[in-house]
Structure formats: structure tokens, C-alpha cells
A = this chain, B = another copy of it.
Amino acid sequence: MSNPVLVEVLRGALVESRHRGAVAVVDADGATVLSLGDVARPVYPRSAVKPIQALPLVESGAADKYGFGDQEIALACASHGGEPAHVEVATRMLARARLDAGALECGAHWPSHQPSSQALARSAGAPSGLHNNCSGKHSGFLCVACAAGVDHHGYVKPDHFVQREVRAALESLTGVGSSADQCGIDGCSIPTYAMSLTALAHAFAKFGTGEGLAPERASAAARIRAACAAEPYYVAGTGRFGTEIMQLFGARVLAKTGAEGVYCGALPDRGLGIALKCDDGATRASEVAMAATVARFLPMSEDERGAVGRFLRPTLRNWNGIEVGGLRPSEALSQ
């Protein structure tokens, strides 16, 4: 059975493309509030769980030891655009642990933020691990190792101290054990463990509320949420949906993208966690689906409802700036 269409792409009067997928919204008790499509099928959460993967950095005391503020903690949760400010904060995080870019094991890629990529090329530069969208998370991982006095080399491997800590945090929030046959290697070389959208949404409900967590963990989750709400630019970047929706709603929405069409988040004061995946892996559709899910469950002012419209129905323009179409949530998602 196929998942429902979540998002339609229009050109002129016709639907040109369609994105199917599944959405789970779950409360902190594990009760399902919305279930669209197959929410039981295991999916790799990819980068969408970075806020949860940042728990050891805060809980262990490493963030305090190195004097990290909101920017550093937000960047540890980020899939950023490799903009100069992102690179600067990652560099600062590493320097606090007396490390540099050479310690990063995430691999290098050109900044996804195109003006930053072009500026880097213009300056005859080449990308390093600092420009990798995961460099904040990796800098955080390195700090966890260094603060614990553990050799950081190989920190991306499943059996390294850092990944064991990260896995334990994920397992405790999701309630799902991590088995090797559900494990893939992520773009940045760390393990990613497949699990149901229901389990992911439940984890984000707990992360968003602190309910069901030990006091230290609840406190660490609150600090990470506050950092993302205070510095959403450091969670994604210029012009990015994740940044802009958190700028709009502040602490009322936590939103984190993952590769291959995953989006997770929480509506803390509604007590809800959200996890969704577009079957085909399309980011453009996962963003509209996330916006629609937020719009469905978050009470908002008229002004906010007006502002959220451009995330629900983004316009497509061509190379001459002519409006040629747009995206919209499907009826199934809008109801």
C-alpha cells in the first residue's frame, strides 16, 4: 500500500509532481495524535535527530567546561549552510578543546549556501570539514571526547565512546534499541539507526517537554531547545525554512531537517512531537509537510497565520523571476 500524497507541485494549472510520505504526531505519553501513511516502517532519521544527539554535549558538562553559549549549542544541532558565521562558531568550538579542522572526520564539501560557496571560490579557498553542514555536530562530538579525556580519533565509529553516548541518548528517548541490521552510515560518516516515525515523534515529544526524562536530561533538552530558539540562524542559515520557522515562532516550534526528506520537531507548549518523511527523499516537500503539520497543531495569531503561508505554499519562480508555479500541502495533510 502506498503512502498518501503529502505535497503537490503545481506548474500553470496542473499538478506537475507529487510527493508521498508519512507523518506521525505523538504526545509525551506516546499517544498518537496524527498518523498519516505508514508510520511504523523504519526510516533513517539522519540529521533530524541532531538536537537529541547534542544531549551528551550538554549533559556531560562539556558545553559548560568549554564555555558554550546558545550559538555553539545551536550549531551542534545544525545542518548549516557553511556560511562564514557558521564556520567561525565551529572553529571556536574546536579551539576551546584545543583542536582545529584537522580533527573533524565528517569530510569536506562546498557550502550549500551558494553565495558563501562562490565567495569561498572567489577567495581561491577550498572547502574543509568546517564547511560541512554537520561541522557543528562533529565539533560537539569532539568536545564530548576531549572533555571526558578520551582519545577523539575515530569518534565517528559506532563503538567509539562518543557514538555510544549518543546512541544511549537516542535509545532512551525513542525507546528503540539500536541494532546493526538497522544501521546505515550517514553522509558525515556516523551511524544512523532506522526506527519508526512514531518512535521518533515520541522522542521529540519527550525532548520538547522534558516529560519522562531524568531531571538532568530534561534540563539539557530545555537548554538545547532554548539555544535553537535563540539562535535559529545557527541551526540552518540564511533563507532556510528551519531557521525562518523558528524565527517566526520562537520557542513554540523546534524544527530540524534530515536528509532524504525527513523532518522532525516539537511543539513544546502543545506537548507534541512531530516526525515525517517524504518517501522520495525530497527536502522541498518535507518542508511544506512540516509547515502544514505545525499549522495544524499550533494555535497562532492572524499575523502568524499570514506569515506561515509562504512556507505552506511556497512560490516557484524561474530564472527570469517569473512565477511559474508553487507547492501546496495535499488535502490529506491539510485536513
A281 contacts the other chain (CB 8 A): yes
Contact of A132 among B20, B117, B183, B319 (CB under 8 A): B319
Q: Contact check, B118 vs A185: say whether CB atoms are below 8 A apart.
A: no
Q: Which residues of B contact A188 (CB under 8 A)?
A: 318-319
Closest to A318 in B: B187
Q: Which residues of B contact A194 (CB under 8 A)?
A: 14
Q: Contact check, B260 vs A44: say whether CB atoms are below 8 A apart.
A: no
A189 to chain B, nearest CB (A): 5
Q: Contact check, A16 vs B184: say whether CB atoms are below 8 A apart.
A: yes
Contact of A14 among B118, B182, B261 (CB under 8 A): B182
Asked whether A107 and B189 contact (CB < 8 A) given A9-B281, A282-B280, the answer is: no
Q: Which residues of B contact A335 (CB under 8 A)?
A: none
A121 contacts the other chain (CB 8 A): yes
Q: Contact check, A319 vs B11: say whether CB atoms are below 8 A apart.
A: no
Q: Contact check, B281 vs A16: say whether CB atoms are below 8 A apart.
A: yes
Asked whether A44 and B319 contact (CB < 8 A) given A20-B20, A184-B324, A282-B282, the answer is: no
Q: Contact check, B319 vs A107: say whether CB atoms are below 8 A apart.
A: yes
Contact of A185 among B19, B114, B189, B324 (CB under 8 A): B324
Q: Which residues of B contact A301 (CB under 8 A)?
A: none
A100 to chain B, nearest CB (A): 18
Asked whether A17 and B185 contact (CB < 8 A) given A2-B2, A109-B319, the answer is: no
- 1/0 contact string of A41-69 vs chain B (CB within 8 Å): 01110000000000000000000000000
Q: Contact check, A281 vs B282: say whether CB atoms are below 8 A apart.
A: yes
* Complex: A280 Cα to B194 Cα, angstroms: 23
Q: Which residues of B contact A282 (CB under 8 A)?
A: 280-282
A26 to chain B, nearest CB (A): 22
Q: Which residues of B contact A287 (CB under 8 A)?
A: none
Of the A-B pairs whose beta carbons lie under 8 Å apart in the complex, a sample of 5, sorted by A's number, is A9-B281, A14-B182, A20-B20, A118-B118, A188-B318
